[in-house]
Structure 1
Amino acid sequence: MALVRFGWEPFREIDTLQRQMNHLFDSLTTTSEDVGSAFVPPAELQETPEALHLKLEVPGMNREDIDVQVTADSIAISGERKLERHTEEKGVTRSEFRYGKFRRVIPLPIRVQNTNVHGEYKDGILSLTLPKAEEEKNRVVKVDLA
């Protein structure tokens, strides 16, 4: 006759939980350089009465490697980033190359004139001026009260 053990095994469950928590913390503390994950450039969007101004940080790229597509209510920016880093320690030179394609779609809070967008790429910063659509400029309506 075989002995079959039924019931709760708290130490086995604690061990499983500990392994899962370690895996979770490892995935949170691992940088994109460690795993080669997708590069997502940081962005800043400002609104003025006439236009939206978008800045995107994409260092280490050539302007030919950046593609910008604008619709009336969103902007899609894609490209390929190549980053080279050299370090020398104790007479040993170490070289790391990082390649990665990115694509970022940013929904715009208002409609823009996508045929009249101006852009500039300088010192790793992509700056875009997106003029507001005419109906967005004239949004304020005076209401007569009876």
Structure 2
Amino acid sequence: MARKETKDVARIEPSIMAPFEEIDRLFDEFMRRPFSIFGSLMPRLRAEAEVISPAVDIYEEGDHLVVKAELPGINKEDIDVKITDDYITISGEKKKEEKVEQKDYYRYERSYGSFSRTFTLPVDVDIDKAQAKFENGVLEIRIPKTEEAKTKERKLQIE
């Protein structure tokens, strides 16, 4: 019986560059999502970073500029708000201790951290009439716009 000659459909040549290509692929993945490795390795660190840098919304509502900041787990006494004619700064400190003791189970966790965020105010405001309230972990600051800011409107010519 005659032996059939087999032909390769696709031939893979060994490459000296193969290990370097894998390193290049890993580097590209890291550059696309640089902190994804921290999210998978240290979820607690990621959760703490979210609390330390609170989400802030700034928007206009009627005659007021409204600033809302999410500050869960932070006491009202640990929050500081400073307003100038151009900027608002929200800063604070988180202090949390949790102790759990059950049969054959002990846990004592502490987390501390401070934050400070400064924003440029988009409109002219009357800082002397600003009000702030803190409820259910949300800080809401209402600052009335000045009369000039309320009426300031400009029609743009479209080219």
Q: Normalised by the size of structure 2, how large is the TM-score?
A: 0.67
In structure 2, the residue matched to 1:98 is 111
Change (3 A) 1:48 1:34: closer
Q: What is the CA–CA distance in structure 2 between the aligned matches of 1:137 and 1:108, rounded to whole Å?
A: 14
| 1:26 corresponds to which of 25, 34, 37 | 37
What is the alpha-carbon root mean square deviation over aligned residues? 3.1
- Structure 2 gap segments, 5+ residues each: 1-14
| 2:95 corresponds to which of 67, 82, 94 | 82
What is the CA deviation profile of residues 56-78 of structure 1, one whole-angstrom value per residue up to 9, with x for unaligned ones? 11122222211101122321100
Q: What is the CA–CA distance in structure 1 between the aligned matches of 2:45 and 2:130, rounded to whole Å?
A: 37
What is the CA deviation profile of residues 57-108 of structure 1, one whole-angstrom value per residue up to 9, with x for unaligned ones? 1122222211101122321100101233456798322222111100111222
In structure 1, the residue matched to 2:129 is 116
Tell which structure's C-alpha radius of gyration is larger: 2
* AA at the equivalent of 1:131: P
Change (3 A) 1:55 1:138: same
Name the SS for the 2:128 alignment partner: coil
Change (3 A) 1:76 1:46: same
Q: What is the CA–CA distance in structure 2 between the aligned matches of 1:118 and 1:88, rounded to whole Å?
A: 42
Change (3 A) 1:101 1:141: closer
Structure 1 residue ranges, 4+ long, deviating more than 6 angstroms after superposition: 87-90
In structure 2, the residue matched to 1:12 is 19
Q: How does 1:54-73 map to 2 (within 5 A)?
A: 54-73=67-86
Worse-matched range after superposition: 34-43 or 129-138? 34-43
Percentage of identical aligned residues: 30
Q: What is the CA–CA distance in structure 1 between the aligned matches of 2:68 and 2:92, rounded to whole Å?
A: 15
Worse-matched range after superposition: 95-104 or 28-37? 28-37
Worse-matched range after superposition: 34-43 or 111-120? 34-43
Higher helix share: 2
Give the number of aligned pairs.
Answer: 135
